[in-house]
A and B are shown apart, each in its own frame.
Chain A
Amino acid sequence: MATVLVVDDDRDIRELVAMKLKLDGIEVLEAANGRIALDVLEQHHVDLVVLDLMMPVMDGIEACRAIREREEWKNLPIIMLTARAQSDDVELGFGIGATDYVAKPFSPRELLSRVRGTLARSAH
């Protein structure tokens, strides 16, 4: 069973994503910011990270960079959640190693299909 780490400072968003993924049989871990996410990654095996961009303490960009710096997490799939209308965040996200992105507001269905697609690709 795949494990996904959901990182967002908004509790409702975390719950929403977790609910949708669990309904599809995916194990879900949660973190409220990038710093906590890194701690969770240290302690648990994670197959994919859903990472919000704007968060206090450590934002998504910083967290994404920190994850990519570690050899064992170099290929860990990361799906960015962006709230901006502009594409520069998306470009920035890809620039620092995000695997895919989903713009807020997203449909849980859409997010699930991205998660499934990314997991399937990374399994190869």
Chain B
Amino acid sequence: MPELEKLGLPEYFEKTKEGYLSCRVDLQLLKETVRTVIQKSMSRFIGIVALDYGLDIELLYNFSLNKNILTIKTMVPKEENKVESIVAIVPAAEWSEREICDLFGIKFLGHPNLESLILPAGWPQKEHPLRQPIRGSIPPHACSILEALFAFGTTIRPSSWIKQKREEAGLPGIPPLIYGDERALAEVQKLLRDIEFDRRAGYDWLQKRLRGGR
């Protein structure tokens, strides 16, 4: 986009509406992205906004650039709860990071002085007034059903008992559904990834369970 080039911004920025440009980056790439923006454009730091989505906290790094608001977005999983500080690149972010640490409990690694900024003296160290308990959007009673859907492509997993009984009844032991068909299962799992349902539901592919517990 010529407009991005003119502003000195990388091509992965998108214009969301008139006067607003944004990009979403992985946590590991945040610091480098901020560095690129600061070095290659005339951006000025505005502040950092934190939003609690239950499983993750989203951080919005806002900059001002030639009458545009520029936002770099990243998600911090609550289990990790840490992100690299950008203070070394943007000294003005020092208080923003301290404020978010106070209110949401996120640790900013490499911050020169991550002491409390706005909470009153004597406030309990592990209590962060704007932080919600880790919790997904899936109702507890639907969690095991959904975990089976991600792992097996069905909501019920065939037991060895049913396989044996099906064979005794003259039916194939494995019913003709996705279970046991590795290729079909991989395809369904890819679809679930492609539509980002795993992210929305908070499914952890390694642990094979939904984040946030029951």
Asked if chains A and B come from one complex, the reply is: no
